[in-house]
């Protein structure tokens, strides 16, 4: 399993080398977390290895930025063809971009992402986990805001 996480102690993002399912996740600052309870006997991830949260979603392991760039470049090229009265080339460009998108979707592996801390877990089975749930994400976002407000009030008071 390869894990990309934000350390709760030093607040730095780290991408770990392959982590054994029975090992420990270790940050260079000294923070560590035992991960043997995060993976069940079948090798399926039950909870986040960084924070222990059981709510994880499945997504493609591809940077969203590059997906938007590919679509935007395709739209611009298609618009140029359309502006020069070449509708077949314009439609062909859009179809090519759609084929590239579909190919990347099929080819790219899935990763599991934690709703609470956004840790990404790669090279592990995503079986039993659903796609992104906006309601669940909003719940964790609101919880984080409440915790920040409570910490600020405690610090001021």
Please give the pLDDT value at position 17.
Answer: 72
67, 93 in Cβ contact below 8 A? no
- The Cβ of residue 48 has, within 10 Å, a number of other Cβ atoms equal to 26
Instruction: Tell me the residue range of the domain where 127 lies.
Output: 2-60+110-156
Query: Which residues, 6+ apart, have CB-to-CB distance to 50 below 8 Å?
Result: 3, 5, 6, 8, 25, 33, 114, 117, 119
Asked if 55 and 72 sit in the same domain, the reply is no
Asked if 118 and 102 sit in the same domain, the reply is no
Please give the pLDDT value at position 23.
Answer: 79
The total of structural domains in the chain comes to 2
Asked if 69 and 133 sit in the same domain, the reply is no
Asked if 48 and 84 sit in the same domain, the reply is no
Please give the pLDDT value at position 59.
Answer: 95
Asked if 86 and 68 sit in the same domain, the reply is yes
Please give the pLDDT value at position 6.
Answer: 93
What is the pTM assigned to this prediction? 0.82
Asked if 92 and 137 sit in the same domain, the reply is no
Please give the pLDDT value at position 22.
Answer: 63
Three-state DSSP at 123 gives coil
Asked if 13 and 88 sit in the same domain, the reply is no
> Can you list the residues of the chain whose pLDDT is less than 50?
none
Asked if 54 and 81 sit in the same domain, the reply is no
Please give the pLDDT value at position 21.
Answer: 65
């Amino acid at each position: 399993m390869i894990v990309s996480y934000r350390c709760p102690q030093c607040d730095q993002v780290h991408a770990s080398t392959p982590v054994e399912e029975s090992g420990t996740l270790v940050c260079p600052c000294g923070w560590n977390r035992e991960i043997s309870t995060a993976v069940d006997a079948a090798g399926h991830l039950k909870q986040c290895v960084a924070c222990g949260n059981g709510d994880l979603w499945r997504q493609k392991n591809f940077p969203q930025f590059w997906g938007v760039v590919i679509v935007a470049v395709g739209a611009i090229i298609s618009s140029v063809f359309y502006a020069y009265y070449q509708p077949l080339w314009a439609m062909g460009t859009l179809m090519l971009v759609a084929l590239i998108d579909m190919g990347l979707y099929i080819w790219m592996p899935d990763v599991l992402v934690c709703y609470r801390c956004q840790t990404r877990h790669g090279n592990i089975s995503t079986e039993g986990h659903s796609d992104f749930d906006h309601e669940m994400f909003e719940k964790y976002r609101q919880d984080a805001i409440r915790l920040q407000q409570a910490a600020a009030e405690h610090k001021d008071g």
